[in-house]
Structure 1
Amino acid sequence: MRVIGLMSGTSHDAVDAAAADLVLDGDTVVLAPLGLVSEAYPEALRSALSAALPPAATTMRDVCALDTRIGQAFAALAVRADRELCEGRADLIGSHGQTVYHWAEGGRVHGTLQLGRPAWIAEATGRPVVSDLRTRDVAAGGQGAPLVSLVDALWLRGRPGVCAALNLGGIANITVVAGAGDPLAFDTGPANALIDAAVGDLTGGRLDHDADGAMAARGTVHEPLLERLLAEPYYALPAPKTTGKELFHASYLRAGLAATGPVPDDDVVATVTELTARTVADAVRKAHATEVIASGGGTRNPTLMGALRRELGPIALRTSDDLGLPAAAKEAYAFAVLAFLTAHGLAGTVPSCTGARHASVLGSITPGRHGLGLPAPGRPAPSRLEVFRR
């Protein structure tokens, strides 16, 4: 089955589409990557999305407009991915949508909202679409995140030692896989969220991220600010747990700066970069990991990766590219796999990772132009994911 996975993360800067040939071979999902295409959100759409995210107020009209425009952006990229990566022969599309709110209170997730209605994708491509992948896990008592943990567990099972898959998006999350034991997954805290927020604030919106970690590299970590940020109660919560930009946003950072006094711009960026490295490394050490496999946009920040390597010390750090999955595309490939599992009637969650009462088949299916032609049910649940390198 040829599947396209669509993804826009908490940095909400672009939509990624990764295509793969996927087959079930006994208890193994075999994934052959076909490539990645990306498109930045139009500036007007990104600005409107940023203006509507917490802690900002918004209106139902704005939410409806965002839902439509995001759906159309996803649809346009899906058409391109089908043409350029799949030779017009895609069978299925999995769309994560754009997370705009993850309702977490009192250690529980009560709801989650992703915008980008799948009807726009199905109409534009003619292909069936699996979407709304997080809500079923939340309904089963889970955190709804990190949702790629099943894919990580299948992919890394059997590696020596204790392996941690690390995603450095807006929020950082890890999946810890150790031998035959149950995997563990959770959000460690911010990855790029506070770095991007700091850069945007400090440059008056002229820049939206720290390109190549240049600002952080010029700065010096401000210890009082770092200590204040490290006092955030979220870090002490037990796993499984999840967080998002509902907590880690520009106003959150401003409150920390207000309590510590003026800090030079580059030092602020250096400090929040160190915060990400420190909190990720703390979580990895507590999980007794012996190896970290990193992916996501944060892997392109050499200052962040250098800080993380220093904080991890003897724990090996490499990127998912080394194992055949491009670091920039790994999450999009993961959502292609989850859509593939849903089409086969197979569960896409691991209760030990999300905290759900049971594993669930994820998402809703929007028929394509010619209805639905799903595989026959009754296949055994996979226990491994193998990446086929061409």
Structure 2
Amino acid sequence: MRVIGLMSGTSYDAVDAAAADLERGAEDGVLRLVPLGMVSEPYPADVREALAAALPPATTTLAEVCRLDTRIGQAFAALASRADRELCAGRAELIASHGQTVYHWAEEGRVHGTLQLGEPAWIAERSGCPVVSGFRPRDVAAGGQGAPLVSLIDLMLLRGRPGVPAALNIGGIANVTVLPAGGDPLAFDTGPGNALIDAAVRELSSGKRAYDAEGALAAAGRVHEGLLERLLSEEPYYRIPPPRTTGKELFHAGYLRARLAGLGELRPQDLVATLTRLTARTVADALRPLAATEVFVSGGGVRNPALMAMLREELGSAAVRGSQELGLPAGAKEAYAFAVLGYLSLHGLPGNDPGCTGAAGPRVLGSLTPGSRPLRLPAPAGRAPHALTVGAPPGGTPPG
């Protein structure tokens, strides 16, 4: 089956679309993925500005939520149509849309609700394909954190590797999946990925820059140990046992301003270096007790050399590798992961790992919006696949 996965993360800088051919072995419990490539488009400037203005801790209106739901859905629809045309030769059979997370209602270690915008009807109307969307709420309704859902795909890729393999995604928030030797798998958000770094750069540049390009500011600065200690010691989230999730509801510009109060003058590059070290330290603090021996990294953070260097320092002997060594490009892994989750949902198979999200049990995730043709669901698929193999794409390595 040819599936397109759509994803926009907590950095909300762009929408990614990854296309894959997916085929499930009848008897061996293996799902085979052939990557067909990725395309990406930034949000239109007015949509991105409206989204930034509406996100917590800002206040918003239901009218603005409606407008955002429509405009984000239209942006996803346009990219899905492009991906079908450029990557699938117009033969996509299913689209899986994560949508744009705008609020993750987490209190005292429990998630009560989660909201992703991007109305799937726009995607179905423009592409003609059925659309699976709204993946997270079912896990939350079953008592789970609703995240990280990518952990199921991580486990399918990591099983069978020696030692204690781990997957790390560094988006606005950083999350890990770990497969301990002989133990139960774990997955959780470690804390801010790029969220506080990006917030600082936007404020320091009066909105002219959205992130620390190439990690240049961090590389030019020195870590302020007093601020780092304050950020680590004053944040209760780091001491919540997994499974745990968080978001920009917690880690935002106002949060950073409060932690800077009373510290006096701080050079911009020192502030960014400190926040970059915070991300690396909190990831390493999460992985160290689990004795991870290798860490496969994906997400926007891999494009920050300063962050990656600090991460290697903090992790010590653990090998730090890119997710492309598992077959999925670092910049496209999450979009491919949601293509897999959409495939599982359409076939009536669970898309969560209860041990990772904390849900009461395995659940089929998402809601289905029909396309332009009569909806014909596949026959029940039986046992869920336990492993994912990534085959060679046609013509070499896909973009992403």
Contact 1:173 1:185 in 2 (8 A): yes
1:224 maps to what in 2?
Answer: 226
Taking structure 1 as the reference length, the TM-score comes to: 0.99
**Quick check: 1:46 aligned with 2:48?**
yes
Task: Describe the SS at the equivalent of 2:261.
Answer: helix
Determine the structure 1 residue equivalent to 2:320: 317
Match of residue 92 from structure 1: 94
Q: Distance in 1 between matches of 2:328 and 2:315?
A: 22
Q: What is the CA distance between 1:287 and its match in structure 2?
A: 1.6
Q: Tell me how far 1:379 sits from its aligned partner.
A: 2.1
Residue aligning to 1:269: 272
Counterpart residue number, 2:157: 155
Once the two structures are superposed, residues 147-190 of structure 1 have per-residue CA deviations (whole angstroms, 9 ceiling, x without a partner) of 10101011110000111100000000000013454311000000
2:80 is matched with which residue? 78
Aligned position for 2:193: 191
Q: Displacement of 1:63 after TM fit?
A: 0.4
How many residues are aligned here?
Answer: 390
Q: Tell me which of 330, 345, 353 is aligned to 1:342.
A: 345
What is the match of residue 397 of structure 2? none
Distance 2:290 2:372 in 1: 47
Give yes or no for contact 2:76–2:123 (8 Å, CA) kept in 1.
Answer: yes
Separation of aligned partners in 1, 2:367 and 2:183:
30
> Within 1, Cα distance between the matches of 2:207 and 2:374?
45
Supply the AA of the counterpart residue of 1:9. Answer: G
Q: Verify: 1:102 aligned to 2:91, yes or no.
A: no
Deviation at 1:107, TM superposition (A): 1.2
Q: Percent identity?
A: 69
- Opposite residue 302 of structure 1, the aligned amino acid is P
Task: Letter of the 1:145 partner, please give it.
Answer: A
Query: More deviation in 128-137 or 372-381?
Result: 372-381
Distance between the aligned counterparts of 1:293 and 1:353, measured in 2? 18
The yes-or-no answer on 1:182 pairing with 2:193 is: no
Q: Give structure 1 stretches of 5+ with no counterpart.
A: none
What is the alpha-carbon distance in structure 2 between the residues aligned to residue 68 and residue 259 of structure 1?
43
1:13 and 2:10 aligned: no
- Does residue 355 (structure 1) correspond to residue 358 (structure 2)? The answer is yes
Q: What letter is aligned with 2:380?
A: P
2:48 corresponds to 1:65:
no
User: Aligned partners of 1:313 and 1:288: how far apart in 2?
Assistant: 11
Report the Cα offset of residue 262 of structure 1.
2.0
Is the CA contact (8 Å cut-off) linking 2:17 and 2:79 kept in structure 1?
yes
**1: distance between equivalents of 2:377 and 2:30?**
19
Q: Secondary structure at the match of 1:227?
A: helix
Alignment of 1:128-147 (within 5 A): 128-147=130-149
C-alpha distance in 2 between matches for 1:132 and 1:224: 42
In 2: Cα distance, 1:259 partner to 1:32 partner: 54
Matched residue type, 2:55: L
- Structure 1 equivalent of residue 285 of structure 2: 282
Secondary structure at the aligned position of 2:297 is classed as: strand
Give distance in 2, aligned partners of 1:163 and 1:141.
Answer: 27
Q: Kindly state the Cα deviation for residue 288 of structure 1 after the two structures are TM-superposed.
A: 1.4
The Cα of 1:322 is off from its aligned counterpart by: 1.6
Structure-1 separation of matches of 2:51 and 2:195: 15
Deviation string 1:202-251 (CA, Å, 9 cap, x unpaired) is: 11001000000001111111111111111211001100000000000000
Equivalent residue for 2:31, pick from 13, 29, 32 = 29
Measure, in 1, the Cα distance between the counterparts of 2:38 and 2:200: 29
Tell me the CA shift for residue 20 of structure 1: 0.3
| SS at structure 2 position matched to 1:259 | coil
- Secondary structure of 1:256 counterpart: helix
Q: Of residues 240, 244, 252 in structure 2, which corresponds to 1:241?
A: 244
* Cα distance between partner residues in 2 of 1:75 and 1:256: 40
List gaps (5 residues or longer) in structure 2: 394-400
Q: Are residue 117 (structure 1) and residue 122 (structure 2) matched?
A: no
| 2:173 and 2:192 in contact (8 A); partners too | yes
Normalization by structure 2: what TM-score?
0.96
Q: Does the CA contact (< 8 Å) of 2:4 and 2:17 recur in 1?
A: yes
What letter corresponds to residue 294 of structure 1 in structure 2?
A: V
- Distance across 2 between alignment mates of 1:262 and 1:372: 62
> Of residues 55, 58, 62 in structure 1, which corresponds to 2:57?
55
Q: CA deviation at 1:389?
A: 2.0
Contact 2:180 / 2:290 at 8 angstroms: preserved in 1?
no
Secondary structure at 2:254 match in 1: helix
Q: Distance in 1 between matches of 2:24 and 2:130?
A: 19
**d(CA) in 1 for partners of 2:75, 2:82:** 11
- The question of whether the paired residues in 2 share the 8 Å contact of 1:157 and 1:179 is answered with no
Instruction: Report the CA distance shift for 1:372/1:180 in structure 2 as closer, same or farther (over 3 A).
Output: farther
Contact 1:19 1:34 in 2 (8 A): yes
Quick one: distance in 2 between partners of 1:141 and 1:261? Answer: 44
Map of 1:326 onto structure 2:
329
- RMSD value over aligned CA atoms? 0.8
CA distance in 2, matches of 1:130, 1:288: 37
Whole-Å separation in 2 of the counterparts to 1:156 and 1:324: 12
